[in-house]
A and B are shown apart, each in its own frame.
Chain A
Amino acid sequence: DSGVTQTPKHLITATGQRVTLRCSPRSGDLSVYWYQQSLDQGLQFLIQYYNGEERAKGNILERFSAQQFPDLHSELNLSSLELGDSALYFCASSGHLARDEQFFGPGTRLTVL
């Protein structure tokens, strides 16, 4: 158990819909990262938050947005969903030092029908 929790585990929805994925980081970690992993593909970095503020942005679509709340949990909002958005979405947390590893949650599997 990495200490990072993600809900829900699975999500099935239709095209055009909007969903929210939730992540609670490991206790004490201020950084939260979101990744998208399509079937048998690598990790696509979406966005990073540090202590409530956006720190880095990757290949995140305009239809996607995220935020980190004062209690440090984070939410990833996906709207106007398309079939191609079906993927495993990971949240990871880490400390602020370069040596700090990322602890990954179990992921949310999103299926868009």
Chain B
Amino acid sequence: AQTVTQSQPEMSVQEAETVTLSCTYDTSESDYYLFWYKQPPSRQMILVIRQEAYKQQNATENRFSVNFQKAAKSFSLKISDSQLGDAAMYFCAYHSGTYKYIFGTGTRLKVLA
């Protein structure tokens, strides 16, 4: 069965600095997508970035980028130039289309002014 693990319950970063959130997963499938979702204090879940397993190039969305290591089954999120508005809960998720979405337990990110 597929699993998603986020081993960092909480992280802190200084404003304008860079932080990396870790995510590992386990699957026997070859075609799947990985996602990072953000949940700010408002509790609204928002997609941050997605990565297709078949694409070797790491996805990038403005200040957000991923480090996707397929062989190691690792999918980390890098946030550059951290802003106060980045403070949120971040969830890593897996989806292959053949089964349900699988979410990690989340990492709470605090941004220090």
Spot the interface stretch: A11-19, A61-69, A90-98: A90-98
B95 close to A98 (CB less than 8 A): yes
B residues bordering A, Cβ < 8 Å?
31-33, 35, 37, 43-47, 50, 52, 91, 93, 95-106
Please give the number of chain A residues whose Cβ is less than 8 angstroms from any Cβ of chain B in the complex.
25
A42 close to B95 (CB less than 8 A): no
**Which residue in A42, A55, A94, A97 is a CB contact (below 8 Å) of B105?**
A42
A residues bordering B, Cβ < 8 Å?
2, 33, 37, 41-43, 45, 48, 55-56, 58, 88, 90, 92, 94, 96-102, 104, 106-107
Sample of 14 more A-B contacts, CB < 8 Å, known A33-B100, A42-B91, A42-B103: A33-B101, A42-B105, A42-B106, A43-B91, A45-B100, A45-B103, A55-B100, A58-B100, A88-B43, A90-B45, A96-B97, A98-B32, A102-B93, A106-B44
